[in-house]
Amino acid sequence: MQVVVPFAAETPKTRLSTVLAPSERHAVARAMLADVLDAIAEADPELDPLILSTAPIELDEYDEFTDRVPRPVVAVDDRPLTEAVNDHLVSTAEPVAIVMADLALATPEAITDVVETPGDVVIAPGRGGGTNALAVRHPEFRVDYHGASYRDHRARAREVGATIETVDSFRLGTDIDEPADLAEVLLHGRGRTAATLREWGFELETSDGRVGVDRSAADSASDF
């Protein structure tokens, strides 16, 4: 099965701008992409990863993947997410999975749950009604990532007569968008995203009774 990983290469993770400088947002987006690619590769070496990027990117920085087969392929498409993914679905007759690039907690087991669960459309929902991962085996199904996409994808599947399965996954349901989400990375992350945040001085903070993140001033970036 091909696994498409959409990636916003030019202005990633703008909602993290209160805690990360522009260069850091690019770096953490690349780290999350690498963690997702790592989970895909370890889930099954037969999975065929395709990075659907809004701009050209170099894979040299993902040196851990250079010896893996198959190596991730990059396809550049700067159209909106829904249009780009649907065009890809139309162009192939094979089953396709779509996994978001900001799932820093993704594990091989979580990816396996999505790609091996039987069903014409298998959905791993995100928080707030989003869709963080899909497996599509029905030729007429099309995505719509606007609004409450989990609800909309179920409706679209019913419209084309596709069977629907939902994968309830904490790790795939946790996309990293807001500063508060960084606590989840420090608590549960196993890969480069968590390591990168710790290198930058981020640590868990619990003084107000809730788990958050704090950063030592010495490690804060200067290019805000």
The token duo for 36 is 């997702």
pLDDT at 224: 37
pLDDT at 68: 59
pLDDT at 183: 94
The amino acid that residue 193 corresponds to is T
pLDDT at 45: 87
Q: For every one of its 224 residues, what pLDDT tens digit does the chain have, with 9 covering 90 and above?
A: 999 999 999 889 999 999 999 999 999 999 999 999 999 999 998 899 999 999 998 876 665 555 555 568 999 999 999 999 999 999 998 999 999 999 999 999 999 999 999 999 999 999 999 999 999 999 999 999 988 999 999 999 999 999 999 999 999 999 999 999 999 999 999 999 999 999 999 998 887 777 888 897 545 554 43
CA dihedral 155→157→163→165, nearest 10 degrees, is -70
CATH architecture of 2-178: Alpha-Beta Complex (3.90)
pTM to 2 decimal places: 0.92
The residue ranges of every structural domain in the chain are 2-178
Could you give the CA distance from residue 4 to residue 77 in angstroms, rounded to a whole number?
Answer: 12
